[in-house]
Structure 1
């Protein structure tokens, strides 16, 4: 894993811009705590911060390809290519010679062999930039599912780029401005491809290549979901899903540093942990190590709600006993979650006030604790989008709503957090209209089968929305929280082979046992305990401790005592003061207070100018 950044300027000599290029690179130190590198040329500055995972001694970056004493190309790369060993063998057969055992060098030689078409050959999660010194051309490439982030900011004479916005914003050429469209994207709980919220900044779309030349910028998609007729019956489909998962997990267990799994006790993370345990045992490599997050007193005092029927702890421990993993519970309390330093670190990791409150904070603290034991973790993220696990896949009202289904399920995900926003501003932004436009743009993209109609056609659309719009929010959250502490999190369910195969399985097959995620449950039935197989989907936990809401209210009260708040042009501070003045014991909605605190801190710390 790593953090990458760079600067291309066709009219300026960047060899004299080391200080700025270094500042951009330094912002990525959390993503890459092990090493750093900076390469300068007249028209390109390429920076890198490294988290060493494969070939610890030989994978330094930026990596330069040379021939006859001449520099050919320079690579800065974040991620993992899981088929690098096969690619290395193929490249050797084509005459390439290697100095290291790193996947980085394989990627660089793949570029020399195939140019920008190298992306078609890669299986993995990655975001990388290649500066071709022969043509003075830069390409930016992002993995098919968008697991690793990559942003760029066109300038008059070139481009700035980075793994995160903060790398770009460290360059004085990038303005810290958010306009009306940026606010709409930030508030709408949709993820519009290529939109980066900061004005003038863009995100490389999953499965996209962005090419920068003197003549300008061009873009093309090298991969996207495709529709084809699924001809396998249920037993064959289950067998193929299991075969893919076995191969994916085996590939993603390759690491030269300590590795673990994230375990919630749900079907997805339990399947990953059990498959990893099975593979490690077969290789004679011992048992898997697993980690869970919990809150002090959560299981003992758990109260079921609309989203969560059961606490995670008992189920996670069932799986631990079943597979014999070496397990650790990371137990948090409200003081941990409200700690100002932790909340500031979460905002810094996110770059934007788009967080999920205590669920972000607890994830950050979980990853920070894991990092003292392991450098790589496997996660069950994205299985719900792939196999159809969320409630809105199974709610007829949400399925048939003329909007994204997660926007039709009321307060279950607590997505809007708009209660304290200025009402005049909200009317001007027209968030529902923005969501409708995004929805119709997404509808126009859906790949379809001739003659497919009715529920099957609609569920293809719903699956597409989740795999291209919803999952991006969660993958970004996972990446930011993990890389903020130098932890690499791998997501086996995002392997593009599995994603496109299951995308084309009929909906009736995905629910053949009358439950959510039927194919995944059947594929892993032999390695999971009955308690896990019977458990109903439960989202990532949120603390139920009333003292957390009280602490939020106290922090908001303290904030609102100030004479001037950066957020006052966006938030309705009159309503905010009414909310925090409620008597002790009255119901206190947490999301609006989270929004107020985070938005104000962001405007202040990032010195953002809001232009509407």
Structure 2
């Protein structure tokens, strides 16, 4: 990864000096010396964090277009040979750094040519002929990129702290973005800092003297594969094999992987082990420090099933990672500095940190994950029920419903998935309330009433149905979910904090496109949700996992640590209450009431898993406190 900074100024300022300050502020994300280059009214620069062999040939900003284009990039290109062949390059591609290859792409096909690139990238391109600064990111946002458009200048950098090094860019939180975060709305163009915008994943932003124009670089074609059932499984195996293989390229260090009891990380880990043999794969499983109750249909301790996966592959070094009981509140300052955004689930993040600590201790430089597996490998296909109903295929619907009943599904669940998409939002909300699970924001969000007022409009603008009815189209649901994904800040922060490059094979663009083209019925064949992954990876996973219907429940012992941290929570709320932006967003008094009324259940009491408890305490109180801490730090209030 590379820390980027760029400045286009029409004010006659010392641009190289300013860009140098912006790069120095991001030194944690790029330890190599800063290199800057100026072309007419713009200066671009970078600080390199070498990760792939071709980084040895990275000489900084690249000049092209007969001296009229200047490009700097933070990139890992996974289809280098394919790109070189399409460009007709005769040079030794192994000695061509990623920014050079990207410049060749732009010279040949323009900025739209970046849609041909598979991998992770953030690009800044200055076109001196047109006086246009273009910023672009890969479809899943694996590399971050932010910008500020000021009076007579435009500045861009990998992380907000680079922009805040410019004296004319304010340092303040965005109350709107934080409110949307607490309502779990998709992130918009605005970052979590006021006046700083993010380039959205899979988009290019062109900025000139007249304004800003945003274009989408990647839109998957709507194609439907028609194969034999066995060929679907073979195709998914081949796509994952390729996606994992291209993510093993590195300069040094060992390879690690998350390994849970779920299909996604287990499939990634098992595939990586096969490809690395005999080189070891360090596989990390988060296990609870204390036995705790879990909701029905979930697994609290994923260690035993993960161990069975590891036992099938001689080169997997299985590493169960147990939390050390620390309160995540003590980690919030570190989270702010590394990720520069609020943390969604503080107790889950603590488990992630423990895995990163263990991976670093074992010399891991690349850590594979399976975060987007729900959209690719393990899509459950449940939306096929509504598709059958909506198209009048009632015989096939009855057959699928009988098969699901045989798998243990209740009639109510089948009916909700089948009819829910066709029920008006108000009726659906009433039905959900009737059966004991309120969807009202007041039930799980720490937002003060005044901050909720405008959320309906913003939700509609982002395509969010606040009644959360089931979807009738699995492809549309996954595309909407993928549009919400932005891995960049987490990836960048993990590299800075632990020297570990997070790579997610389930986020591979080619794998996503292939998975979206598979008919939904293949994902729920014979009434077995996630059927395609179960068939595809039976060659590398144990039968216990292939047949497992439960899902992992991370941080099942959250209430134990939180009970011990009540005084810290109260003290944090004291600081939050003194912060004006936090007071504008959060209902601090309600959070205090939750602490005063903290349940006195025993640690092993299953009542900790009641929705009313997890919504109020795990979601509202803990997430609200984390968001308040972010606002307090970003406002520099105390």
TM-score bracket for the superposition, by shorter chain length: 0.7 to 0.9
Aligned to 2:2: 2
Superposed, 1:217-236 pairs within 5 Å as 217-236=212-231
Per the alignment, in what secondary structure is the counterpart of residue 511 of structure 1? helix
Per the alignment, in what secondary structure is the counterpart of residue 107 of structure 1? helix
Aligned to 1:461: 476
Higher mean alpha-carbon deviation, 382-391 vs 268-277, is at 382-391
* 8 Å Cα contact 1:386-1:493 kept in structure 2: yes
Residues 287-317 of structure 1 deviation map (CA, whole Å, 9 limit, x = unaligned): 32322233323xxx24221573342111111
Residues 1:558 and 2:583 are matched in the alignment? no
Deviation at 1:35, TM superposition (A): 4.8
* 8 Å Cα contact 2:287-2:323 kept in structure 1: yes
Aligned to 1:244: 239
* 8 Å Cα contact 1:414-1:591 kept in structure 2: no
Q: 2: CA distance between counterparts of 1:565 and 1:535?
A: 48
Deviation at 1:323, TM superposition (A): 1.0
* 8 Å Cα contact 1:302-1:311 kept in structure 2: no
Residues 1:316 and 2:315 are matched in the alignment? no
Aligned to 2:344: 355
Deviation at 1:95, TM superposition (A): 5.5
Aligned to 1:174: 169
Per the alignment, in what secondary structure is the counterpart of residue 292 of structure 1? strand
Per the alignment, in what secondary structure is the counterpart of residue 527 of structure 2? coil
Q: 2: CA distance between counterparts of 1:191 and 1:584?
A: 32
Closer/same/farther in 2, CA of residues 414 and 59 from structure 1, 3 Å limit: farther
TM-score by length of 1: 0.83
Closer/same/farther in 2, CA of residues 355 and 478 from structure 1, 3 Å limit: farther
Deviation at 1:564, TM superposition (A): 5.6
Aligned to 2:450: 425
Residues 1:602 and 2:630 are matched in the alignment? yes
Aligned to 2:52: 54
Aligned to 2:332: 343
Q: 1: CA distance between counterparts of 2:622 and 2:231?
A: 47
**Selected match of 2:200 from 201, 205, 223:** 205
Closer/same/farther in 2, CA of residues 382 and 483 from structure 1, 3 Å limit: farther
Higher mean alpha-carbon deviation, 112-121 vs 382-391, is at 382-391
Aligned to 2:408: none
Aligned to 2:410: none
Q: 2: CA distance between counterparts of 1:35 and 1:415?
A: 51
TM-score by length of 2: 0.80
* 8 Å Cα contact 2:257-2:367 kept in structure 1: yes
Per the alignment, in what secondary structure is the counterpart of residue 334 of structure 1? coil
Residues 1:106 and 2:101 are matched in the alignment? yes
Deviation at 1:507, TM superposition (A): 1.5
Residues 469-516 of structure 1 deviation map (CA, whole Å, 9 limit, x = unaligned): 3xx166765664455433211111122222122213221111114233
Deviation at 1:36, TM superposition (A): 3.7
Closer/same/farther in 2, CA of residues 23 and 198 from structure 1, 3 Å limit: same
Aligned to 1:31: 29
Gaps of 5+ in 2: 386-412, 602-607
Q: 2: CA distance between counterparts of 1:476 and 1:157?
A: 28
Alignment RMSD, CA only?
A: 3.8
Aligned to 2:319: 328
Closer/same/farther in 2, CA of residues 83 and 525 from structure 1, 3 Å limit: same
Deviation at 1:257, TM superposition (A): 1.9
Aligned to 1:435: 459
Aligned to 1:366: 355
Gaps of 5+ in 1: 443-454
**Selected match of 1:485 from 498, 501, 520:** 498
Closer/same/farther in 2, CA of residues 115 and 230 from structure 1, 3 Å limit: same
Residues 234-291 of structure 1 deviation map (CA, whole Å, 9 limit, x = unaligned): 222222212222222222222222222221232111111111121223xxx5332322
Aligned to 1:452: none
**Selected match of 1:265 from 232, 236, 261:** 261
Aligned to 2:555: 542
Q: 1: CA distance between counterparts of 2:562 and 2:516?
A: 40
Closer/same/farther in 2, CA of residues 473 and 366 from structure 1, 3 Å limit: same
Closer/same/farther in 2, CA of residues 495 and 595 from structure 1, 3 Å limit: closer
Closer/same/farther in 2, CA of residues 392 and 606 from structure 1, 3 Å limit: farther
Superposed, 1:503-522 pairs within 5 Å as 503-522=516-535
* 8 Å Cα contact 1:178-1:198 kept in structure 2: yes
Q: 1: CA distance between counterparts of 2:360 and 2:439?
A: 30
* 8 Å Cα contact 1:129-1:139 kept in structure 2: yes
Aligned to 1:575: 590
Deviation at 1:540, TM superposition (A): 6.0
Deviation at 1:136, TM superposition (A): 4.2
Q: 2: CA distance between counterparts of 1:273 and 1:232?
A: 27
Deviation at 1:526, TM superposition (A): 0.9
Q: 2: CA distance between counterparts of 1:65 and 1:306?
A: 59
